[in-house]
Every structure is written in structure tokens, then in C-alpha cells.
Amino acid sequence: MNDPLSIRRLYGRSRGRPLRVGQSALVEELLPALSVPEEGPLDSAILFGDDRPLHFEIGFGGGEHLAWRADLLPDHGFIGAEPFLNGVAAALGHIRDRHLANVRLHMGDALEVLERLPDASLRFVYLLHPDPWPKARHAKRRMVNHGPLDLIAAKLQRGGEFRLGTDDPVYCRWAMMVMGQRGDFEWLAESAKDFLTRPGGWPETRYEAKARREGREVWYFRYRRC
């Protein structure tokens, strides 16, 4: 079955309501300075000018988690990919307000950027509340499929961590099934409490808070690269 690694197509909207004047200015002025180069190989030195641990967030939404983690770990480098213009604009606001110099952004397909990074170069990969594509015929569009996971596994250091968060029960079951088939990730959970309680160092996003307000459970998965 094809999956996002071979489909090479982004589904859904690329923009929502019109940007405010301040957001448009951020996209025009700040985004070019922080954007991942469009072509060529990537590494810590190219992106940040030195050798530092790297983190990658696939689909960062409004950027709250990305900015929070980057603020927490200023000597680490953070790469975020998000195809949605309004999300990129929101993330730029967080970066500006927190004066973050350790974040680089890509407005587009995360997999294209991941492929250009050296193998075993990432300390963390984050996939928080991805589109669940709940219909069975759309399962091939889910980011938790073996093609993307092969790529994530290749780019993570041994001992590095893949974090997945979801509030969708279909995606939760799917992720547990797919991840359970893999021998290159160790699930860091010893009891149900370990994936029903948000771990330390994992901030709440607006999307997660909305899910809680609407009565949906949230699951937090942590996997160590073997």
C-alpha cells in the first residue's frame, strides 16, 4: 500500500482566513531569514552555523510546541515543517516574541526536508496531532506508515526519541498497530498511565486544549530509536 513517502502529495488546505497585517509582515520579512534552504544537503552547520543536537517537528500547527521546546533548549537546533500558511505565520509570532535564534522553518512537505538531513542526525522527531484521515480508504495518507517511519528511523540517532500525540481513537489504534510491527523503535511505556499522561517537557498546545475541552482523550506516545 502506498503511503505519504511515495504519494508525494500534500492534502488539505494550504491557507485559511486572510493573514493580519502584522502576520503578513512576518511572512514577508522574518520567514526568508529563517527558512530552510530550498535545495541541497542539510546539516546542523548549514542551518545553525555549528554542531548542535537537532530536533524536527512534522506539521507544527501554530508553533506553540516548537517554540516552547526551542526556548527550553537554546543550544539545540529546531527544524519545523508545516504546509499551512496561517500556522507558519503563528509560529513566526512565537519566534519573534521569544527572540528565538535556534529555529528554522519549512513551509511545505516535511519528508522532503527529512530526506536531505544526514542519517542519525536527529535527537528528537515530533508528530503531534497529525491529520487522522479516519476513513479506511485514506489510511495510506497517514504519516504513521512504514515509508515515513523508515525515513524517521534512518534520521534519528540511536537512543533518539520519536514523540507522537493524538486525540483520535482511530489514529491511536492505527499507530499502536503500525509501531508494534517495527523492531527499530522501543515503546517507552510500562503502564497505561505512561501514555495517558502528558510527559514532562511536553507542553500543551491549543489543539490539545481544545480536544480536552470537547471531551476527547489525548494519547502521548514516546518511542526510542533502537
pLDDT for 128-179, tens place per residue? Answer: 999 988 888 889 999 999 999 999 999 999 999 999 999 999 999 999 999 9
pLDDT score for 199: 93
Residues of the chain with pLDDT under 50: 11-13
The answer to whether the CB of 102 falls within 8 A of the CB of 48 is yes
DSSP code at position 35: B
pLDDT score for 7: 54
**Does the reported pTM lie above 0.85?**
yes
d(CA 131, CA 142): 7
Residue spans of beta strands (DSSP E) within 17-146? 54-58, 77-81, 103-106, 122-128
Q: Is 131 a catalytic residue?
A: yes
Q: How far apart are the first and last CA of the chain?
A: 25
Coil, strand or helix at 9: coil
Residue with cell 533548549: 73
d(CA 89, CA 103): 14
Catalytic choice (75, 109, 119, 131): 131
pLDDT score for 18: 81
